[in-house]
């Protein structure tokens, strides 16, 4: 009888700890791993990054230059279930595929006009000073993109080897899962 009470106490403590860790990972803070070379030279393949989820939890827009974690499935509405399934702890148990979670840099915010000419990025007619970019960008376009309300535009620092907003378009703010802290 005493053994059963002790086991119940232990199981209760483990359950509470599990729920707390999931809560923290979904709403407050989590670590994630960089997959690929799109953020070279700033971040490297397999590097661990720590992310504040508070901006996602409280629906705060990121700033220019912030490194953000996004859900690249911009054609799908995000739900609380997505947040739970993207939690690192739960994804260990569920063998979830996290290739839709990308790490990119914020280049444009709502209302910004973006252009890509002379191998540079122009925001609202001004060329961006981007010392973090790996090499000169090959991409150019005659098109202008105006970031709609409730969205951002993101790009990788390795512009010639990055799937980003040039491929998937504007990122809804609810698809910004967090900001890199360190």
Q: Residues with catalytic annotation?
A: 38, 104
| Residue 43 neighbours by CB distance under 10 Å | 22
**CA–CA gap between residue 146 and residue 76 (Å, rounded):** 21
**Nearest residue to 72 via CA among 179, 143, 177, 181:** 177
Cα 173 versus chain centre, distance: 11
**71 membership: H or E segment, kind and range:** strand 67-71
**Nearest residue to 71 via CA among 60, 61, 56:** 56
């Amino acid at each position: 009888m005493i053994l059963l009470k002790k086991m119940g106490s232990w199981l209760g403590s483990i359950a509470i700890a599990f729920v707390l860790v999931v809560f923290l990972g979904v709403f407050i803070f989590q670590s994630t791993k960089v997959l690929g070379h799109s953020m070279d030279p700033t971040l490297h393949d397999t590097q661990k990054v720590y992310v504040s989820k508070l901006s996602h939890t409280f629906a705060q827009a990121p700033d220019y230059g912030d490194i953000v974690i996004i859900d690249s499935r911009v054609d799908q509405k995000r739900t609380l279930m997505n947040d739970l399934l993207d939690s690192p702890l739960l994804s260990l148990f569920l063998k979830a595929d996290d290739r839709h979670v990308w790490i990119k840099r914020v280049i444009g915010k709502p209302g910004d006009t973006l252009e890509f000419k002379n191998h540079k990025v122009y925001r609202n007619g001004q060329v961006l000073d981007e010392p973090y970019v790996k090499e000169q960008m090959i991409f150019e376009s005659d098109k202008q993109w105006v970031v709609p309300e409730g969205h951002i535009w993101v790009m990788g620092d390795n512009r010639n080897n990055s799937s980003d907003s040039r491929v998937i378009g504007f990122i809804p703010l609810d698809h910004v899962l967090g900001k890199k802290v360190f």
